[in-house]
Amino acid sequence: MCVNLKVSSMLIIQLTLFIRRFQDDILVVQVYVDDIIFGSTYLRYIQLFSDLMKSRFKMLMMGEMMFFLGLQVNQSPCGIFINQSKYVLEILNKYGMESCDLVGTPMEIKDKLDLDQNGTLVDATKYRSMIGALMYLTSSRPDIVHATCLCARYQAKPTEKHLKEVKRIFRYLRGTVNTGLWYTKDSGFELTRFSDADYAGCKDTFKSTSCGAEFLGEKLVSWSSKK
């Protein structure tokens, strides 16, 4: 299934996503190591692809996808819901935040972080670990992307001020454990993008932070926050 394209003597790109179009319908196949997930807008193509793979390779069909790369996938006739509630509970417990107080937002609206050069330093290893855990969660939680990326800028010398903001994200997560992405059925494929920026918002470098979100119909498919 995988095709290797030799771009140069130093770089090889391995294709993992394959799309086949049949007039108004599509078949999508995603390969990850020895796992394959696939779907189609037409049920007949799903069965044909399944039969083809089982006839060509020694494979097991695991049925409807419910869990993949840490993502929980719940499918219904109305659409697909993706979240990481199990992972959220795991990291809350790992960092002792399972009983913390709740907050309604992942960060203070008016408070802007800076290097805090005179602040009290905290354990940088633990701070980086917490940031890494949050980064993994952004796969299904665009609502914490900006706050997490902002806190990630201060991993070199984190202070109590920075750690407080990271813990605030965890406090927000405790109150929104089951939040995720809802992909409705038949909501169209019109591509729409929204973007914004805070002009010279960084207190350390005076650089702007740009944010963006892309939708296919009503389905959020991509999001980012970048300085």
- Tell me the C-alpha to C-alpha distance, in Å, between residue 110 and each of 107, 113, 177, 187, 201: 9, 10, 25, 36, 11
Q: What is the value of pTM for the model shown?
A: 0.79
147-174 pLDDT, tens digit per residue, is: 999 999 999 999 999 999 999 999 999 9
Cβ distance 107 to 150 under 8 Å?
yes
Domain ranges of the chain: 3-63, 83-226
CB atoms within 10 A of CB 46: 14
Confidence of residue 7 (pLDDT cuts 50, 70, 90): very low
pLDDT given for residue 60 in this prediction: 81
Mean pLDDT of the region 171-196: 90
32-61 pLDDT, tens digit per residue, is: 877 888 988 888 998 999 999 888 888 888
